[in-house]
Structure 1
Amino acid sequence: MTRNSRHWAIAAAAFLAAAPVLTGCGAGFDAITSQPYSPTEATTAKVRGIDISQAFFLGPDSGATLPSGGATPLYLSLVNTGQGPDRLLGLGVDPALGTAKVTAPVDLPVQQRVSVGKPTPTVLIEGLKKPLAGGESITVQLQFANAGIVPLTIPVITRSREFTQFPQAPGATAAPTPTPTPSATAEHAEGDH
């Protein structure tokens, strides 16, 4: 194979690999799909009759931090696909991270989607031992009455983009606001004369 024909073969292979992606672009942003939206950063798992989707801890606003001593709420969607009802009883976390708190058990009827965290967070990690800025992952164990203990690694997502509708995490610090520099202010004032 000559050098020139190798370049054409590589280009053709790249085009064929990109073709499925490019055909999806034709649908546009207003396309209607039959799939529910789920954030790409969130965790999804199917374990022992429990479908877990859209699992994430809510972190601070972009550019801010959840300080030590603060809390981070858990949001997730659960569907019990087992033979009988189940219940989310608890959350286990490494004590070096903080203390897990479940304010009330979450009932999981068969074949019914249950959103945890909306409208009020009921599962969270309190007394954080280290600050969180978003982008970290936390390993937890969800404890179910029938499905048992389910280990997961769940991301901490900043409160930005589609997550701005969620209430701010308890104890979060505000994002730093940019302050104008004196030189920029002076230059602007000189140009107004």
Structure 2
Amino acid sequence: MTRNRRHRAIAAAAFLAAAPALAGCGAGFDATTNKPYAPTEALAVNTEQGIKISQAFFLGPDSGAQLAAGGSTPLYLSMVNTNQTPDTLVGLGVDPAVGTAKVSAPVTLPPNQRVATGQPTPGILIEGLKKPLRGGESITVQLQFTNAGVVPLTIPVITRSREFTAYPAAPNATPAPTPTPTPSASTAGEGDHGTEGH
């Protein structure tokens, strides 16, 4: 085999080896053409402490609206304690520059049972927000468990849209602005014709 052929063979092999990875990237980015890319979808993570979180998000306002400073954002969690002994979520730590955490009651986590917080009534909130939230932000918190200890997470703020419209509005959320109708070209054209007729 000549040197040129050998180089071509190596290049072809390298391309074929990279093809599955490139196809995977393409499939991921193609999703933007199939549906809107939502980088702030709910967080899912398996923690080192044995708490599996399949969904975690702060509920923000409706699209185009905001949670005003001084308002509250509820935390929704869906989690499974994969440890052999029961555990309890007892607290939420948050930077005071964001707001004040409130856990209305401890959340018991039996082994290997899914537990969801926030429904029907949100029991974990960040109150007294220091800045307005519009959705798309992330908030770093520490979930505090009796046995698992402190679990740090960065949780997205998701607008109340798409599959999240079924959730009750966050407290003190401002309504989304109503679109203002604009005159259409045909209406403007009709007005012009009327003027020309006189």
TM-score band w.r.t. shorter chain: 0.7 to 0.9
CA offset digits 1:90-143 (Å, max 9, x no partner): 101011111100111101111100011122111010110100011111000101
* AA at the equivalent of 2:51: I
Q: 1:18 aligns with which of 7, 15, 23?
A: 23
Q: Distance in 1 between matches of 2:182 and 2:73?
A: 34
Q: State the secondary structure of the residue aligned to 1:115.
A: strand
Which amino acid is 1:118 matched to?
Q
2:42 equivalent in structure 1: 42
Structure 2 stretches lacking a partner, 5+ long: 31-38
Name the CA shift for 1:94/1:183 in 2 (closer, same or farther; >3 Å): same
Instruction: Give, in whole Å, the separation in 2 of the partners of 1:45 and 1:83.
Output: 16
Query: What aligned pairs does 1:160-179 form with structure 2 within 5 A after superposition?
Result: 160-179=161-180
Amino acid at match of 1:172: A
Q: Which position in structure 1 is the counterpart of 2:61?
A: 60
Q: What is the root-mean-square deviation of aligned Cα atoms in Å?
A: 3.3
The corresponding residue for 1:157 is 158
Whose Rg is larger?
A: 2
* SS of equivalent residue, structure 1 residue 180: coil
Q: Secondary structure at the match of 2:54?
A: strand
Distance in structure 2 (CA, Å) of the matches to 1:154 and 1:19? 26
Structure 1 equivalent of residue 117 of structure 2? 116
Query: Structure 1 residues 14 and 107 mapped into 2: Cα distance closer, same or farther (>3 Å)?
Result: same
Report which of the two has the higher share of helix.
2
User: 5+ residue gaps in structure 1?
Assistant: 26-38
Distance in 2 between the 1:13 and 1:187 partners?
A: 60
Q: Which amino acid in the other structure matches residue 114 of structure 1?
A: V
The runs of 4+ residues in structure 1 deviating greater than 6 Å are 10-15, 19-22
Q: Which residue type is aligned with residue 134 of structure 1? A: G
